[in-house]
Structure 1
Amino acid sequence: MGKAARLRRERADGVRRGRPVPVVFCDVDYERGSRAHGKGVAPAPPEGWVIGRVGLVHAEWDGSELAFTGDEVIEGTRPASAWIRALRPARLVVGHGVLTSDLRSAAMVTEIPDGLLARTVDTLALAHRLRGKQYPGGCNLSALVTANLGVVSKIRYPQWVRGLGDLGSPNRHDADPRDDAVLIARLWQHMLTSRTLAWGSSARGARDRTSGGSGPLDEQAIAELTGQRRQVEAAEWRERFRGGRILHPTHIDAHSFLLSRLSAADLPAPDQVRDVAERLRASGEIPAETVLTDEDLLTACQYLGPLQHIDVRERIAVGRKLTKPMRENLAWALWSITHRDWINEHWYWIRRGKQSAAAWNKVAEMNTEKAKTRGRLYSLVG
């Protein structure tokens, strides 16, 4: 290999004359209460998911292997904007679904800098595009980790438990998001060192019932993975976000299409939601010392069902009053945001209730308390 060819190969692999490239791998966890779930319930689009916490894993890439240098978990107050701030110094940001869902959720409550998009790589979007199918089946993190690394480390649990309703994945709920960030890092490294990508099998309907396969990664794909070339989905992210579709050629989600045009950057101050919050503060339902920013108020909107979420944001955009049902649901969302400890305890006992009758008695007790609280809130804002 000649010197010029070797230099081109080194640049594609991310080698900078011996200087390692800093990379941040991220995984986002969402609040269960914000996502429409259950039998017969249409799922909420990512624009309606509330970011709960984010796991970050820091590493350096020398062209042949990763060296992990640190990690952190972002949680607590306003995790969406805190996550975006934490990513600003990063030379390269890698996530699985970071463009297709995570940044879509964050954009509804905080602004997304163009500079961040230019440095972001989404392994889900890249895998889906290279696979060339209509749907991203077989491209989720579990499938790719199994197909490429030969390990099964993301356990799935049944979502519906008779008598208890939708509990999601109770044991996964407590998983550290940094664990998945490490899996993303290992997958990213494998793609670069092997220059191949294998897909898992898919069983998404008759149109996409295919088995797994694999294919080589060309120089363009390697350049995208290492940040030497902007990923197509990142370069066109704002345009695709506005169109309600990040992955092509998947279908356009009507709810995403409408919500994406009512992001935090598109709206004035959400004074109607602040008015609801001030009523709760005046009555003592929200602690007097609690400071609610526009991000908090827009986050409360994400707890609503998709149609009501759209309606509230449209009313904020033109300054219209909120209806009684909107004020009531926002009141509960605002109370939940300002009483995280109670909400977390409630979910803790729900998860424990799957194995313990005593724990389920505690859930019933807390549900009674929840009903009383909601009744008080409704009387204040109705």
Structure 2
Amino acid sequence: MGKAARLRRELAEGVRRRRPVRVVFTDVDYERGSRAHGKGVTPAPPEGWVIGRAGLVHAEWDGSELRFTGDELIEGIRPASAWIEALRPAQLVVGHGILTSDLRSAVMVTEVPDWLLARTVDTLALAHRFRGKQYPGGCNLSALATANLGESSKVRYPQWIRGLGDLGSPNRHDADPREDAVLVARLWQHMLTERALAWGTSARGALSGASGGSGPLDEQALAELTGRQCQVEAAQWRERFRFGRILHPTHVDANSFCLSRFHAAALPAPVQVRDVAERLKVGGEIPAEPVLTDEELLTACQYLGPLQHIEARERIAEGRKLTKLLRENLAWALWSITHRDWINEHWYWIRRGKQSVTAWHKVAEMNDEKGRICGRLGRLIA
């Protein structure tokens, strides 16, 4: 039988042979110190979160079966741009919240290319649109995994513990982001094979006695999941980002709206922040080599609170000097970026402080040391 005849027979039988699609499932962890936690503290929008590391799980999808082929952990210097570059070989990139938070953080310090948006699938954004409610309650990864897979391996960590106060969820660093990436992969495969999606109960719904729900996925959703059609939220991402609003019809966050005007590509070189870094180098507080890039200097701005973050970027955009308070806080951020071992040790003892009085003594000692360091930094940049 000739090739043409064999192809006609396969088409007649409804058999479609596809080359496997290279899929990367990804999850991002953030530096806890960059996010606002605690009672009465204004939450920082994703534009103000610092990417700490990212987990990637590589796989191939042949239309019916998902085969895992490898994984990697992106960490170290400039993790935002390193993460985006690591996604380049993928034909399809899948993440839970990748459009709604991860890329919003990354674009503030590095470029988010069009090719990435064209290949990206956000299961959170899709689940939120599918559910059709104002807020994406019951659509977090843990809730969806429980509702669709019957169990969740995702560990939830409290931010506030009675008697210990605000811990800033530092325990998240105990989890490998590749574990959540695998959970995203299992959820994605389930949605395709079952052609349906179930969601959990939101906190608001639980109070009212409401339960979760489920429904079949339409052809558009299935086409978006497999990359045959660009996801709506990805196609409109840049336009929505300009207004601080990725999910519809959620409310516009004022801080997010202000910050979105000052993403990395919209700013000149952050010479004011570089001046702070140079003073710290001269004083021997941060290493002279390697030279900090614009990405690292803008990352330092993400460590600031939302209002200071906005002010710092506004001053960079307008070429104005930084205030003394901004210089002091940026000095600590730059010191943190260049002294990761000390910062990681600090979080190590904070995590263990819940069970150990000795650990809390160590935290107190390091906090005293932090005060002395900040004093030195303040004198250098005054």
TM-score bin, normalised by smaller chain:
over 0.9
Q: CA RMSD in A?
A: 1.7
- Give the conservation status (yes or no) of the 8 Å contact 2:111–2:264: yes
Cα offsets for 1:299-341 (capped at 9, x unmatched): 0000000011001101100100000000000000000000000
The one-letter amino acid of 1:263's match is H
Paired residue total:
373
Match status 1:316 vs 2:293: no
SS in 2 for 1:204: helix
Question: Tell me, which stretches of 5 or more residues in structure 1 are unaligned?
Answer: 11-16
SS in 2 for 1:286: coil
- The structural deviation recorded for 1:33 is 0.2
- Give the conservation status (yes or no) of the 8 Å contact 2:95–2:184: yes
Hey, which bits of structure 1, 4+ residues long, moved more than 6 A?
205-209
SS in 2 for 1:133: coil
- The structural deviation recorded for 1:97 is 0.1
- The structural deviation recorded for 1:53 is 0.3
- The structural deviation recorded for 1:58 is 0.1
Q: TM-score scaled to structure 1, two decimals?
A: 0.94
Residues of 2 paired with 1:311 and 1:208: CA distance?
A: 41
- The structural deviation recorded for 1:3 is 4.3
Cα offsets for 1:8-39 (capped at 9, x unmatched): xx6xxxxxx23111100000000000001111
Q: Which structure 2 residues correspond to residues 279-298 of structure 1 after superposition, within 5 A?
A: 279-298=279-298
CA 1:374–1:119: 2 relative to 1, 3 Å = same
Partner of 2:20: 20
Partner of 1:218: 218
Partner of 2:360: 360
- Give the conservation status (yes or no) of the 8 Å contact 1:133–1:208: no
Residues of 2 paired with 1:270 and 1:41: CA distance?
A: 28
- The structural deviation recorded for 1:153 is 1.6
Partner of 1:118: 118
The one-letter amino acid of 1:262's match is F
Q: Which moved more, 1:147-156 or 1:241-250?
A: 147-156
Residues of 2 paired with 1:75 and 1:48: CA distance?
A: 19
What percentage of aligned pairs have identical amino acids? 81
CA 1:171–1:333: 2 relative to 1, 3 Å = closer
Partner of 1:151: 151
- The structural deviation recorded for 1:379 is 1.2
Partner of 1:53: 53
SS in 1 for 2:336: helix
Match status 1:197 vs 2:200: no
CA 1:132–1:208: 2 relative to 1, 3 Å = farther
The one-letter amino acid of 1:316's match is I
Q: TM-score scaled to structure 2, two decimals?
A: 0.94
Q: Which structure 2 residues correspond to residues 22-101 of structure 1 after superposition, within 5 A?
A: 22-101=22-101
- Give the conservation status (yes or no) of the 8 Å contact 2:55–2:178: yes
Residues of 1 paired with 2:153 and 2:206: CA distance?
A: 28
Partner of 2:348: 348
- Give the conservation status (yes or no) of the 8 Å contact 1:134–1:208: no
- The structural deviation recorded for 1:204 is 3.0
Residues of 2 paired with 1:191 and 1:300: CA distance?
A: 39
CA 1:207–1:135: 2 relative to 1, 3 Å = farther
Match status 1:249 vs 2:249: yes
Partner of 1:14: none
Question: Tell me, which stretches of 5 or more residues in structure 2 are unaligned?
Answer: 1-9
- The structural deviation recorded for 1:6 is 4.1
Match status 1:105 vs 2:105: yes
Q: Which moved more, 1:171-180 or 1:90-99?
A: 171-180
Cα offsets for 1:182-204 (capped at 9, x unmatched): 00000000000000000001123
Q: Which moved more, 1:207-216 or 1:353-362?
A: 207-216
Partner of 2:304: 304
Q: Which moved more, 1:282-291 or 1:326-335?
A: 282-291
Cα offsets for 1:250-283 (capped at 9, x unmatched): 0000111111110000000000000000000000
The one-letter amino acid of 2:217's match is L
